[in-house]
Amino acid sequence: MLINTVLVYIRELLPVLLLLATLLRLQHHSRRWLWQSTFLTAVMLIVLPPWLGDITQLADGTGLEWLFISAHLSTLIALFILLAGRMNSASVLALCAQALLCGINLLLYGLTNIGTDNSTESFWLGAVLGVGIGASIAVIWYQLLAELQRVSQFILGMMLALIGARQGIETVTLLGQIDMLPSGEALWDSSALVSEHTEVGVFFQAWFGYEATPDMVQLGSWLMSFILILMLWQWRRGKL
């Protein structure tokens, strides 16, 4: 229980925190978007939970998956808008979408685990460890980005591209889960090298959407999102 909770918290929190760290490095002059995102996320997380049951029932029981797909797509689109120059609104959209995903998943995990089989204590301890590890990685990540930025601004572009690629692969995976896309044969299996159920696997998953057994569609969507964002970054910096 404890290990599971830690991994779930890291998996859900890290994407938001890594995105936040990258956006903070990208626009360290203004913090308006941060307060706007915090406020909007708080409102959404207060308003949405009572409707989660109804949302789940939508579209033949795939409502929640559709909500997640739209959140991932919103983040991806927000990254495109961000690179087109509308930094503030794009940051708010991206951060809200990721925070919503994280909030709903943690809420569902908490609701299904707290109070069952006397595991509440392990749950809370796991949550504290998960939040601590996630937040620490984000702080170190932010400082590491600052150091790397001094070497090359391209690092930031690469980070955005990896975050965008994660949204691409997550969207396709969710579409596969609700049978909107055919699931193909796995191109390789790297679970022996890095399992998705270890801390490192979870970190990679949260960072760039690591998939141990990706199929052609997943790989295609990952590469397409990655290259598109990287090209936009280079175009924005006048190098394309």
Partner 1 sequence: MTSVRRYLISVLIAILVLTSFLAALQSYRLSADRARELFDQDLQLVAAAIMQQYQVDSVSFEQSMAVQLMQGQQMLYRSEQAPAQAVGAPDGFSEQNFSGKRWRVFVQNSSNDWHIMVAQPLQQRLQLADEVVTASIYPVVLSLPLQALLIWLVVSRALRPLNTFSKELTSRKANELTPVTLEQVPQELAPVLLSTNHLFERLSAAFAREKRFASDVAHELRTPLSVLEITLHNALTRWQQQGMSQTDESMQALRDGVDRMRQLIEQIMLLNRTNPDNFQAKMQPLDLAALCREVVADCYLQLERKQQNISIEGEEHLQISADAFALRLVISNLLGNAIKYTPDGGQIKLTLSRGDKTAILDVSDSGPGIDPDEYEQVFNRFYRIGGDRHQAGVPGSGLGLAIVKDIVLLHSGTINLAKSQFDSGLNVRVELPL
Q: Judged by CB under 8 A, does residue 2 bind partner 1?
A: yes
The C-alpha angle with vertex 205 and arms to 36 and 163, in degrees rounded to 5, equals 45
Whether 119 and 1 have beta carbons less than 8 Å apart is answered as yes
- 3-state DSSP call for residue 181? coil
Whether 104 and 56 have beta carbons less than 8 Å apart is answered as no
Least separation, in Å, of the C-beta of 237 and partner 1? 23
108-167: contacts with partner 1 (CB under 8 A): 117-119, 121-122, 125, 128-129, 132-133, 135-137, 139-140, 143, 146
Least separation, in Å, of the C-beta of 99 and partner 1? 21
Buried b (16+ CB within 10 A) or exposed e, 141-169: bbeebeebbeeeebbbbbbbbbbbbbbbb
Q: Judged by CB under 8 A, does residue 197 bind partner 1?
A: no
Q: How many Å separate Cα 206 from the centre of its chain?
A: 6
Least separation, in Å, of the C-beta of 151 and partner 1? 17
- Residue with smaller CB distance to partner 1, 59 or 146: 146
- Residue with smaller CB distance to partner 1, 58 or 139: 139
Count of beta carbons in the 10 Å neighbourhood of residue 176: 16
Whether 74 and 94 have beta carbons less than 8 Å apart is answered as yes
Q: Show the binding pattern over residues 51-70: x = contacts partner 1 (CB under 8 A), - = does not.
A: --------------------
Site of interaction with partner 1 (CB under 8 A): 1-3, 6, 117-119, 121-122, 125, 128-129, 132-133, 135-137, 139-140, 143, 146, 199
